[in-house]
C-alpha cells in the first residue's frame, strides 16, 4: 500500500486547552479513512490543522512524500487536499454552478491581462471551467440546480454541492467534515453511494462522522480520537470491540479523568 | 449592458432590444438635451460620467470583493494630483495625456496596495475606519505639503492644469467644422463616455472570470474561500489596486476637465457620496453603480433648480436653502430605499459565469 498522508506527532493547544496531542496516523492511497470520537475530541481541529487553517504547535504532515506547508490553506489545496465544512459554507450569492467554478480556481491560470483582453487562452480556460463544473454537478446529481442561487437549495443538496466544489480543486485527498450531519436515512444512504463512487474514482477520503452505521459500513480503517489523543486505529470491526473506545463513548472505569 | 437593460423598469423585460437602443441613443443625445437647459447642465452631465467611473471602481472593491472602503476618494486625489504635477505650470512639466493618465492610474494602484497591506486582516467596521483614516491622511498630506518644500501648493491648490490634448486635438477648445461649432463640453462628454464604456467592459470581463468568482467567494465566506484554494491576500490586494486604478483615471480626467485641483475636492464627504451612489444603485452590480451615480449627481442639481423658484412662488421668499434641502432629501431617499428597496434601485442580478459556454446547455 502506498502512503498518501502521514501525520507525525501533531499537537495543537489553545491556551491551556490541549486540543490535539501527539496524533500520528497514516492514510493510504485509495482508502476511506474514518476519524471518529466523542464531541470535543479534536476531530475538526485535526482537519483545521491539516488544511492549514490552524498552525500546529508540534508535529508535521507529510503528503505524497513532501511536508505540507502550515498556515497557508491555498498551498495545501494546491498540493491536492480539499475539504468540506461541518456547518455548510457555500458562497451564498453564487449559483450552484458558480460555486463549483470558484472551487476550480486553483487549477486555472488566466492572468489579469488575459482576462481583460479576453485572450484565447483565457476564453478557452473559462469554457473548460464551466464545463467541468457542470460535469461535477452531474457527478453529485444536482445539475438541474446549476443556475439556482445556492442558498435556495435543500440541505442535502447543499451538502452535495459542497462536495462538488471540493472536488473541483482536483484533490487526491478529500476531507469530509461530518457530511451526513442533519441528513435523514435516505439522504445518508445516497451520500454513502456518492462517497463510494468517489473512492472508486481514485480519490482517497478522510471522513469525520458521527453516524456510526455510515462509518462502519464505509471506512476501510478508522482512528478514534478522545481528548485530543488517538486511542485506537484499525479496521472498523476491531475498533468496535476496543475497550478504550467503548469507554470513551459510554464512559467507564478505564476512562477515569 | 444586459444588466442595464433589465434595470429599466417595465420596458426592460418586455422589449430588451428596443430598450438597448433607447439607452444607446439616450447616452448619445444626452448632452444635446442638457444643452437645451443650459451650459451648467452639460457640466453636470460630464461630472456624472466621472462619478460613474468612481462608482464603478468602488463597486469593484465594495460590491464584488466585499471590502468596505470609506477612503476611496484618496485614489481620485492621487490621479488628479498626478495630472496637476505632470501637466501644469506648477512644476512647468507638460506631459501628454497618454503618459500622465496611465501614470496616475499606476500611482493610484500603488496607493491601493499601500492601503491594502495593513488592512488585510481587517473586516467590516474595522476596515471601514482604517480606510477612512487613509482617505483623510492623503487629503491632509495634499493640504500640508507646501512647506518646507512646496509640492502641492497646500490649500490653495494647483490651477491652470493642462486640458486633455488627444494627440494635438485639444478637447477644451470648441471644434469647428465648417460653420458648425461643437462646444468643448460635448467633446469631454463623449470622451468621458468612451472611458466609462471602457471601464464597464473591463469590469464585466473581470466579473465573469476566475478573479471575479474568487472575489465573490471571498466576500461571501472568507474561510471557505481559503479552503478551496483562493489566495485571499493576493485577491484583496488585487481588488484594492484595481479599484484604485479606476479612481486614478477618473481623477486625472477630473483634473484635466476642471483645470484646478485642491484638497477640498477630496474630503470624506466625497468618499461617502461615491459610496452612497454604489449603495443607492445596488451593491455588486454594474448597472447599479451607473444608475446610482447618475441619480445622485443629477438629483441635487435638479433640486437646486426647482427648490428656489418653487419656494419663491409659494412663499415669496426662500425659506430653506437648497443645500439644506439636499441633505434632508438625500437622507430621506436613503431611508425610503432601506425600507422599500433594501438591495438598491437595481438589485443585483450579478452573474459570475456564462452559462452559454455549456455545450449541451442546461
Q: What is the pLDDT of residues B121-152, one digit of tens each?
A: 888 889 999 999 999 999 999 999 988 888 89
Within 13 Å of residue A6, how many CA atoms lie on the same side as its CB?
8
- pLDDT, chain A, mean: 91
* Confidence class for position B14, pLDDT limits 50, 70, 90: confident
What is the nearest CA distance from B69 to chain A, expressed in angstroms?
21
Within 13 Å of residue B146, how many CA atoms lie on the same side as its CB?
15
CATH number at residue B291: 1.10.3470
- Residue B11: per-residue pLDDT: 73
What is the nearest CA distance from A242 to chain B, expressed in angstroms?
34
At residue A144, the 3 state secondary structure works out as: helix
Share of chain B above pLDDT 90, in %: 51
* Confidence class for position B243, pLDDT limits 50, 70, 90: very high
- Residue A83: per-residue pLDDT: 94
Q: Which residues of A touch B214 (CB under 8 A)?
A: 102, 105
Within 13 Å of residue B52, how many CA atoms lie on the same side as its CB?
25
Domain assignment present for residue B9? The answer is: no
Contact A236, A219 (CB under 8 A): yes
Contact A23, A224 (CB under 8 A): no
How do residues B81-108 score in pLDDT, each as one tens digit?
999 999 999 898 989 999 999 999 999 9
Q: What are phi and psi of A256, to 5 degrees?
A: -75, 120
For strands B165-166 and B169-170, give the pairing: antiparallel
Q: How many CB atoms are located within 10 Å of the residue A141 CB?
A: 14
Query: Is B204 touching A (CB cutoff 8 A)?
Result: no
Contact A189, A211 (CB under 8 A): no
Query: Is B17 touching A (CB cutoff 8 A)?
Result: no
- Residue B362: per-residue pLDDT: 45
Q: Average of pLDDT values for B197-224?
A: 94
- Residue A252: per-residue pLDDT: 64
- Residue A253: per-residue pLDDT: 60
Q: Average of pLDDT values for A95-117?
A: 94
State the burial class of residue A56 (Cβ atoms within 10 Å of its Cβ: 0-12, 13-18, 19+): buried
Q: What are phi and psi of A84, to 5 degrees?
A: -120, 175
pLDDT higher than threshold 60 for residue A254: no
Domain assignment present for residue B99? The answer is: yes
Q: How far apart are CA B229 and CA A167, in angstroms?
A: 12
- Residue B55: per-residue pLDDT: 96
What is the nearest CA distance from B302 to chain A, expressed in angstroms?
36
At residue B148, the 3 state secondary structure works out as: coil
What's the farthest any 2 CA atoms get from each other in chain A? 70
State the burial class of residue A48 (Cβ atoms within 10 Å of its Cβ: 0-12, 13-18, 19+): buried
At residue A206, the 3 state secondary structure works out as: strand
Q: Which of A16, A12, A17, A2 is CA-nearest to residue A60?
A: A12
Cα angle value B30/B36/B39 (rounded, 5°): 85
pLDDT higher than threshold 60 for residue B361: no
How do residues B294-339 score in pLDDT, each as one tens digit?
988 888 888 878 877 888 888 877 777 777 777 787 888 888 888 8
Contact A74 B232 (CB under 8 A): yes
- Residue A246: per-residue pLDDT: 85
Contact A136, A86 (CB under 8 A): no
| Minimum CA–CA partner of B352 in chain A | A98
Which of A50, A52, A53, A91 is best to mutate for the B interface (most B CBs within 10 A)?
Answer: A91
- Residue B348: per-residue pLDDT: 66
Domain count across chain B: 1
Q: Average of pLDDT values for A64-81?
A: 92
Instruction: Return all residues near B296 (Cβ < 8 A) that are at least 6 apart.
Output: B51, B273, B276, B277, B280, B330
- The answer for B102, left when phi > 0, alpha when psi is -120 to 50, beta otherwise, is alpha
Q: B198 versus B171: which is more confidently predicted?
A: B198
| Minimum CA–CA partner of B221 in chain A | A91
Q: How far apart are CA B121 and CA B125, in angstroms?
A: 12
A–B CB contacts, 8 A cutoff, strictly below: 130
Residue ranges making up the domain that contains B320: 40-356
- Residue B359: per-residue pLDDT: 67
pLDDT higher than threshold 70 for residue A120: yes
What is the nearest CA distance from A126 to chain B, expressed in angstroms?
7
Contact B227 A91 (CB under 8 A): no
How do residues B48-62 score in pLDDT, each as one tens digit?
999 999 999 999 999
Contact A197, A141 (CB under 8 A): no
Contact A228, A41 (CB under 8 A): yes
Contact A93 B284 (CB under 8 A): yes
- Residue B174: per-residue pLDDT: 77
- The answer for B282, left when phi > 0, alpha when psi is -120 to 50, beta otherwise, is left
Unique residue bearing C-alpha cell 481588488: B239
Q: Which helix (H) or strand (E) holds A34?
A: strand A32-36
- The answer for A22, left when phi > 0, alpha when psi is -120 to 50, beta otherwise, is left
Q: What are phi and psi of B88, to 5 degrees?
A: -160, 165
Question: What predicted TM-score, i.e. pTM, was given to this entire model?
Answer: 0.91
Within 13 Å of residue A244, how many CA atoms lie on the same side as its CB?
14
CATH, range A3-255: 3.40.50.300
User: Looking at the partner chain, which of B210, B229, B359 has a beta carbon nearest the beta carbon of A74?
Assistant: B229
- pLDDT, chain B, mean: 88
Q: How far apart are the first and last CA of chain B?
A: 23
Q: What are phi and psi of A160, to 5 degrees?
A: -65, -40
- Residue B227: per-residue pLDDT: 93
Domain assignment present for residue B297? The answer is: yes
Grid coordinates representing B213 are 468568482
- Residue B193: per-residue pLDDT: 95
Domain assignment present for residue B109? The answer is: yes
Q: How far apart are CA A158 and CA A164, in angstroms?
A: 10
What's the farthest any 2 CA atoms get from each other in chain B? 70
What is the nearest CA distance from A34 to chain B, expressed in angstroms?
20
Contact B229 A78 (CB under 8 A): yes
Contact B355 A146 (CB under 8 A): yes
Instruction: Return all residues near B64 (Cβ < 8 A) that are at least 6 apart.
Output: B206, B207, B212, B215, B216, B219, B239, B284, B350
Q: What DSSP designation does A149 have?
A: B
Contact B205 A98 (CB under 8 A): no
Amino acid at each position: 500500500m502506498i502512503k498518501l498522508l502521514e501525520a507525525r506527532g501533531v499537537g495543537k493547544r489553545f491556551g491551556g486547552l490541549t486540543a490535539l496531542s501527539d496524533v500520528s496516523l497514516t492514510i493510504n492511497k485509495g482508502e476511506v479513512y474514518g476519524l471518529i470520537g466523542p464531541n470535543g475530541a479534536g476531530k475538526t481541529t485535526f482537519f483545521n490543522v491539516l488544511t492549514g487553517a490552524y498552525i500546529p504547535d508540534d508535529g508535521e504532515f507529510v503528503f505524497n512524500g513532501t511536508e505540507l506547508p502550515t498556515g497557508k490553506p491555498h498551498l495545501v489545496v494546491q498540493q491536492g487536499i480539499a475539504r468540506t465544512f461541518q456547518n455548510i459554507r457555500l458562497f451564498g450569492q453564487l449559483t450552484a454552478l458558480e460555486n463549483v467554478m470558484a472551487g476550480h480556481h486553483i487549477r486555472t491560470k488566466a492572468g489579469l491581462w488575459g482576462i481583460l483582453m479576453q485572450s484565447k487562452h483565457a476564453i478557452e480556460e473559462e469554457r473548460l471551467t464551466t464545463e467541468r463544473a457542470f460535469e461535477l454537478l452531474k457527478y453529485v446529481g444536482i445539475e438541474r440546480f446549476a443556475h439556482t442561487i445556492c442558498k435556495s437549495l435543500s440541505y442535502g443538496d447543499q451538502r452535495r454541492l459542497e462536495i462538488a466544489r471540493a472536488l473541483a480543486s482536483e484533490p487526491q485527498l478529500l476531507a469530509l467534515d461530518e457530511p451526513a450531519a442533519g441528513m435523514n436515512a435516505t439522504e445518508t444512504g445516497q451520500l454513502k453511494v456518492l462517497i463510494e463512487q468517489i473512492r472508486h474514482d481514485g480519490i482517497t477520503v478522510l471522513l469525520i462522522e458521527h453516524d456510526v452505521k455510515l462509518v462502519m459500513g464505509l471506512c476501510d480503517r478508522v482512528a478514534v480520537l478522545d481528548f485530543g489523543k488517538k486511542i485506537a486505529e484499525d479496521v472498523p470491526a476491531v475498533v468496535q470491540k476496543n475497550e478504550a473506545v467503548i469507554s470513551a463513548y459510554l464512559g467507564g472505569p478505564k476512562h477515569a479523568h | 449592458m444586459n444588466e442595464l437593460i433589465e434595470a429599466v423598469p417595465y420596458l426592460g423585460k418586455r422589449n430588451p432590444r428596443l430598450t438597448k437602443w433607447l439607452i444607446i441613443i439616450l447616452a448619445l443625445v444626452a448632452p444635446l438635451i442638457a444643452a437645451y437647459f443650459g451650459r451648467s447642465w452639460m457640466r453636470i452631465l460630464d461630472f456624472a460620467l466621472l462619478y460613474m467611473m468612481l462608482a464603478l471602481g468602488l463597486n469593484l472593491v465594495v460590491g464584488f470583493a466585499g471590502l468596505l472602503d470609506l477612503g476611496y476618494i484618496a485614489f481620485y486625489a492621487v490621479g488628479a494630483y498626478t495630472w496637476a504635477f505632470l501637466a501644469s505650470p506648477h512644476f512647468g512639466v507638460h506631459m501628454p495625456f497618454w503618459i500622465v493618465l496611465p501614470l496616475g492610474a499606476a500611482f493610484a494602484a500603488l496607493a491601493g496596495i499601500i492601503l491594502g497591506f495593513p488592512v488585510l486582516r481587517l473586516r467590516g467596521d474595522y476596515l471601514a475606519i482604517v480606510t477612512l483614516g487613509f482617505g483623510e491622511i492623503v487629503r491632509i498630506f495634499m493640504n500640508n505639503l507646501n512647506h518646507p518644500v512646496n509640492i502641492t501648493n497646500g490649500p490653495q491648490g494647483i490651477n491652470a492644469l493642462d486640458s486633455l490634448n488627444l494627440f494635438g486635438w485639444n478637447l477644451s477648445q470648441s471644434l469647428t467644422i465648417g460653420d458648425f461649432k461643437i462646444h468643448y463640453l460635448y467633446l469631454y462628454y463623449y470622451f468621458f463616455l468612451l472611458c466609462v464604456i471602457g471601464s464597464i467592459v473591463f469590469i464585466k470581463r473581470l466579473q465573469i472570470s476566475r478573479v471575479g468568482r474568487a472575489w465573490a467567494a471571498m466576500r461571501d465566506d472568507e474561510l471557505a474561500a481559503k479552503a478551496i484554494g483562493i489566495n485571499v491576500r493576493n485577491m484583496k490586494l488585487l481588488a484594492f489596486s484595481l479599484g484604485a486604478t479606476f479612481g486614478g483615471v477618473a481623477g486625472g480626467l477630473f483634473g484635466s476637465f476642471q483645470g484646478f485641483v485642491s484638497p477640498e475636492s477630496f474630503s470624506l464627504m466625497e468618499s461617502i457620496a461615491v459610496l452612497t451612489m454604489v449603495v443607492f444603485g445596488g451593491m455588486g452590480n454594474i448597472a447599479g453603480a451607473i444608475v446610482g451615480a447618475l441619480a445622485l449627481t443629477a438629483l441635487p442639481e435638479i433640486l437646486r433648480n426647482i427648490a428656489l423658484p418653487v419656494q419663491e412662488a409659494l412663499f415669496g421668499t426662500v425659506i430653506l436653502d437648497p443645500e439644506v434641502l439636499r441633505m434632508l432629501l438625500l437622507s430621506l431617499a436613503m431611508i425610503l430605499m432601506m425600507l422599500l428597496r433594501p438591495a438598491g434601485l437595481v438589485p443585483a442580478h450579478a452573474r459570475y459565469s456564462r452559462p452559454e459556454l455549456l455545450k449541451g446547455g442546461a
